[in-house]
Amino acid sequence: MTNRVFLPSLKKILLYVLLFVFLTPFLLIIMNSFKSTQQFVENPLSLPTSIQMANYVSAFDNMNFLDGFLNSLMITVGSVVLILFFPR
Amino acid sequence: MDRKIRLRNAGTFLLFGGPSVIAFLAVVVIPFIVGLYLTFTNWDVRTGDNSFIGLSNYVAVWQDTVFWTQLWFTLKYVFFTVIIANAVAFFIALALTGGGRGEQWLRTGFFTPNLIGGIILGYLWQTLFSQVLPYLGEKYGWSWFETSWLTNTDTAFWALVITTSWQLIGYLMIIYIAGFAGVPNDVLEAASIDGASRMATIRRIMLPLTIPAIVICVFISISRSFLTYDINLALTKGGPFNSTELATYHIVQKVFLSNQYGVGQAEAVVLFAVVAIIALTQSYLLKRLEVES
């Protein structure tokens, strides 16, 4: 009886561990996006000491985020409309 | 009378199927035929040359030894990617079809890598392989990770395989889950009444009944990994020393960097033939294993 209760939870734990490994790259990137380059090179795994938005600000400026986003939005809306009206 | 009905049927077909047929012709069939024709010419965008030169493009492909080494490299890469991605996706899907709590969250989590384009995935893993893993290796003395995996041909190969599998697994998992959902409950019940163990149920019932899903998954993973370009570009850029160029990468280099349009196009046709032969053979062989429930 204990076995039956224990087994599924072990499976669950394994799955969540696997999911964590699976998503680690994302976590690392999000974590490091708040750090300065120097902090990143020193220790890519450390938690950010203070939350800096500098990376986001410069990314927003450098890549013309709004223009790019509007282009993507238009393409997405256009293709979704076409797919909806001309299904296979 | 008969003719009238047939005419009306054709009209109905044109109304509903026409747009798709035209779209399919315009973006798949016609470009393919034109592309095939271009391999027999010395077509060049810059000079406007477009005269018939027979098979000499294919002779050039035959003599392009780099292409054949890259094709062999691609074959190895596809082989390992397909096996790893399908095996992992199969078992994750199996673990996620019990109907337990939190299953939806887990499925979403495993699917996440598929929502991001290959370029960003490639850069993400490039940071991981060239910064994070060497850092770990140095800190804990793991000799495996001390140098970046992307600086050595063998390890860069595995980096490519891991990244592509990571992207494919979520997608294949969804198809496998759909396949498992199609396994009739009464068969599973009968198996459990007959005292079949979990392993026996998987091997004797789940596996044979999900062959259609397996065929689709293997087909998709074969064609997708043969045509990998973005991950290759973002992760290794073909380096070190062009040793990790996949076939598509090589073709793009040939066409747009060395401006050998005809030869590049002919190589693309050769690649198409290889992919078609392998994908069709596997689906033919696997389909023979299909059973009725």
pLDDT of residue A3: 47
Identity of the residue in A8, A32, A40 whose CB atom sits nearest the CB atom of B100 = A8
CB–CB contact B100 A12 (8 Å): yes
Angle formed by the axes of helices B118-127 and B153-181, nearest 10°: 130
Task: For residues A61-87, give the mean pLDDT.
Answer: 87
Helices (H), chain B: 2-24, 30-38, 56-63, 65-95, 103-111, 118-127, 133-140, 153-181, 185-193, 198-201, 207-209, 211-226, 230-235, 247-256, 261-287
Identity of the residue in B20, B95, B109 whose CB atom sits nearest the CB atom of A23 = B109
The residue among B118 and B224 whose pLDDT is bigger is B224
ipTM of predicted complex:
0.70
Residues of A with Cβ-Cβ distance to B100 under 8 angstroms: 8, 12
> Taking 50 as the threshold, does the pLDDT of residue A44 lie above it?
yes
Q: How many angstroms separate the CA of residue A24 from the nearest CA in chain B?
A: 10
Could you tell me what percent of chain B has a pLDDT over 90? Answer: 18
Cα(A21)–Cα(A15) distance, integer angstroms: 10
Could you tell me what percent of chain A has a pLDDT over 90? Answer: 14
- Under 8 Å between Cβ of B82 and B222: yes
Task: For residues B248-263, give the mean pLDDT.
Answer: 84
Cα(B56)–Cα(B40) distance, integer angstroms: 8
B147: tokens are 């140098």
Mean pLDDT, rounded, of chain B: 85
Task: For residues B218-241, give the mean pLDDT.
Answer: 85
- Under 8 Å between Cβ of B86 and B218: yes
Task: For residues B22-47, give the mean pLDDT.
Answer: 86
At B262-274, the pLDDT tens digits run 888 888 999 999 9
> Taking 80 as the threshold, does the pLDDT of residue B5 lie above it?
yes
Taking alpha carbons only, the member of A80, A41, A15 closest to residue B92 is A15
At A27-37, the pLDDT tens digits run 888 888 888 77
- Band (pLDDT 50/70/90 cuts) for residue B202 is confident
pLDDT of residue B190: 87
Q: Is B52 helix (H, G, I), strand (E, B) or coil?
A: strand
Could you tell me what percent of chain B has a pLDDT over 70? Answer: 99
Task: For residues B270-286, give the mean pLDDT.
Answer: 90
Cα(B134)–Cα(A25) distance, integer angstroms: 15
- Under 8 Å between Cβ of B114 and B170: yes
CB–CB contact A8 B98 (8 Å): yes
